[in-house]
Structure 1
Amino acid sequence: MRSPTSRAASVALVSTAVAIAALLTGCAPGGPLNPPASEAPATTTPAPASPTSEAPAASDEPAPTGADRPLDALDAYALCRAQTTGFYAGDFALVEYAPYSDASVLLRDDGLWFVYIEVEDGNRSADLVDVAASNCIVGGTVAEPRWELFGVVTRGQEVIDGYDAPLPTP
């Protein structure tokens, strides 16, 4: 059981994620995410429960700030939480997302972020409380995220292992 302080911090984080989602409501997905020719995308190897951060851009121009900047790992995590909230029906106070430090947030070879967050859904029967995870693939900017995938999956290392699998074609 989490302490009241930990619970309050979780509620604050969820409130922040919901606020981000509210700000982004109505944003249409953008076009393809292509890194500038002068900068190679950062690469990572999958490591369960180990967040990854994007390498800073090597450029003479200042990096974009605010809503026009590309997503970083923490942005991708917060957006995924906010985007998948609706998949957990019932009392939101009974839904606990793993903190960022325990989630898998990995930069894919195509420059998109893979996000896997284990969730304890207290609205479900006791044998199903700890079987779900939010899963997203997102790129773009803070103001205009490019969603390639979002939803809820059954927990499993194979989901994380496949973080860089090709995206399905329509």
Structure 2
Amino acid sequence: MNRTTRIGPAPAVTLLAGAVALAGLLAGCAPGDPGPTTTPSAPPTTSEPAETTPPATETAPPSEEPAARGAGSSLEAIDAYALCRAQTGRFYGDPGRTVFAPFDAATVLQRDDGLWYVYMDVEDPSQEPELVDVAGSECIVGGTMGEPQWELFGSIARDVADESIADYNRPLGGA
């Protein structure tokens, strides 16, 4: 015959005691509260204690807000992508149905002259079925967010996109 013998308080009493102890520990964690006045003893350990991050008021420098970007800000990769998408959208059919490749699937490269080269695949469902996914947008743009400097923008066939991307740093003006 299997027999279980319980030693100690009933489970409900043990759970209640644990909840009271946890509530006491959590009460010491309230903001502005110095914490519990007694420290429970813990068994000694043989490993090094984990590093802790000091409070921000002691050693961390004050957090700085990122600089606000505005019309005079230089273009970043995401800006060049968004500008190219907006500038070339008119070359396709129904703007509500045209699908541009997302930023992470587009090719955005900074050229040696500081301008941005952008290429993205475009699906234009308003076209004949064989033409829906054969185009891409291509741009070379620089300047600022408020005054982009357009060197090139348009639609190209996807079958020449790899060559155009490989030649992204080509001289401007056909030279």
TM-score, normalised by the number of residues in structure 2: 0.58
Find the residue that maps to 1:152 and give its secondary structure: strand
In the TM superposition, residue 66 of structure 1 has moved relative to its aligned partner by: 1.4
Query: Gaps (5+ residues) in structure 2?
Result: 1-65
Higher gyration radius (CA):
2
Find the residue that maps to 2:155 and give its secondary structure: strand
Determine the C-alpha separation between the residues in 1 that align with 2:95 and 2:68: 35
In the TM superposition, residue 65 of structure 1 has moved relative to its aligned partner by: 3.3
Determine the C-alpha separation between the residues in 2 that align with 1:152 and 1:139: 18
Counterpart of 1:107, as a letter, is Q
Q: Write out aligned runs for 1:18-167 (5 A).
A: 65-89=69-93, 91-155=94-158, 156-167=161-172
**Structure number with higher relative contact order (C-alpha < 8 Å, ≥ 6 residues apart):** 1
Find the residue that maps to 2:146 and give its secondary structure: coil
Determine the C-alpha separation between the residues in 1 that align with 2:67 and 2:172: 28
In the TM superposition, residue 146 of structure 1 has moved relative to its aligned partner by: 0.3
TM superposition outliers: structure 1 runs of 4+ over 4 Å:
none
Q: Is the 8 A contact 1:67 1:141 kept in 2?
A: yes
Find the residue that maps to 2:141 and give its secondary structure: strand
Give the alignment's Cα RMSD to 1 decimal: 1.8
TM-score, normalised by the number of residues in structure 1: 0.60
In the TM superposition, residue 93 of structure 1 has moved relative to its aligned partner by: 2.2
Tell me how many residue pairs correspond in the alignment: 108
